[in-house]
Structure 1
Amino acid sequence: MFDKIFEAQQKAGEAKQRLDNIEVTGTAEGGKITVVANANKAVKSINIDEEFFKGADREEIEELLVVALNKAFEQAENVSQAEMAAMTKDMFGGLGGLGNLFGK
C-alpha cells in the first residue's frame, strides 16, 4: 500500500515538472496584450503593444489584462486536467474493475 502512495507522490511530482515546462498564452484586444504562463498558472511574461499602451487609459489596460490572464489560466487548467487524467488512468488502469469506480 505504501508503495502505491509513494508511486502516486512521485507521479504527481513528475506531472508538476511537466506542467512547469508547458507554456500557455492568453491574449486580449486582438493580441495587443499577451500573457504567457506555464500550465501550473505561474505567469512568465506580459507584453502590451507599445502603440496600444500609449493610446489606452489605465482602466482599459487593467480590464484587458484581466481578460488575457483569465484566458491563459483557462488554458493552463485544461492542460493540467488532461495531464492529471492521464496520470490517473496510468495509475488505476491496471487495477481491474476498480478503475470503473472513478467514472471510467
Structure 2
Amino acid sequence: MFGDLMGMMGKLKETQQRVEETKKRLDSVLIDENSSDGLLKVTLTANRLFKSIDIDDSLLEDKEQLEDYLILTLNKAIEKATNVNETEIAAVAKDGMPNIPGMDLFK
C-alpha cells in the first residue's frame, strides 16, 4: 500500500515539474491577432503576456474607434492564448496523473 502511495506521490511530483516546464515553454509561444481589416495587430504569449501592439496611423485620428478596435482584438487574442495555454497544461497534467479509482478528473 505504501509503495503504491509513494509511487503516486513521485508521479505527481514529476507531473508538477512537467507542468512548470510547460508554463515556461508557453512564454515563447506567440499568438498573433489582427483586426478584421488589419489596422490593428497584437502579439502575446500563450501565457497571456503582451509582446507588441501595432496600430495603423489612421486609427489614431478617432479615439473611440481605436478603443473599440483594441477591445475586440485584445479579447480575441486573449481567448486564443487561453485556449492554447489550457490545452497544453491539461495535456501534461492528464498524461502524468496516476490512475486513482473513482478519481476520473480528466474525461
TM-score normalised to the size of structure 2?
0.79
Distance across 2 between alignment mates of 1:71 and 1:17: 23
Distance across 1 between alignment mates of 2:102 and 2:81: 26
* Residue of structure 2 in register with 1:20 after alignment: 27
On the 8 A contact 2:12/2:96 being kept in 1, the answer is: no
5+ residue gaps, structure 1: none
* Residue of structure 2 in register with 1:74 after alignment: 79
| Match of residue 59, structure 2, among 53, 60, 83 | 53
Distance across 1 between alignment mates of 2:29 and 2:64: 31
Residue identity opposite 1:82 in structure 2 = T
Distance across 1 between alignment mates of 2:19 and 2:66: 37
Distance across 1 between alignment mates of 2:13 and 2:62: 52
Please state which structure has a larger fraction of its residues in helix.
1
What is the percentage of aligned positions where both structures have the same residue? Answer: 38
Q: Which has the higher contact order (CA 8 A, sep 6+)?
A: 2
5+ residue gaps, structure 2: 1-5
* Number of corresponding residues: 100
| Match of residue 41, structure 1, among 48, 61, 64 | 48
Residue identity opposite 2:104 in structure 1 = L
Higher Cα Rg, which structure: 2
Residue identity opposite 2:26 in structure 1 = L
Residue identity opposite 2:93 in structure 1 = T
The residue matched to 2:104 in structure 1 has which SS? helix
Q: Give the C-alpha shift of residue 20 in structure 1.
A: 0.5
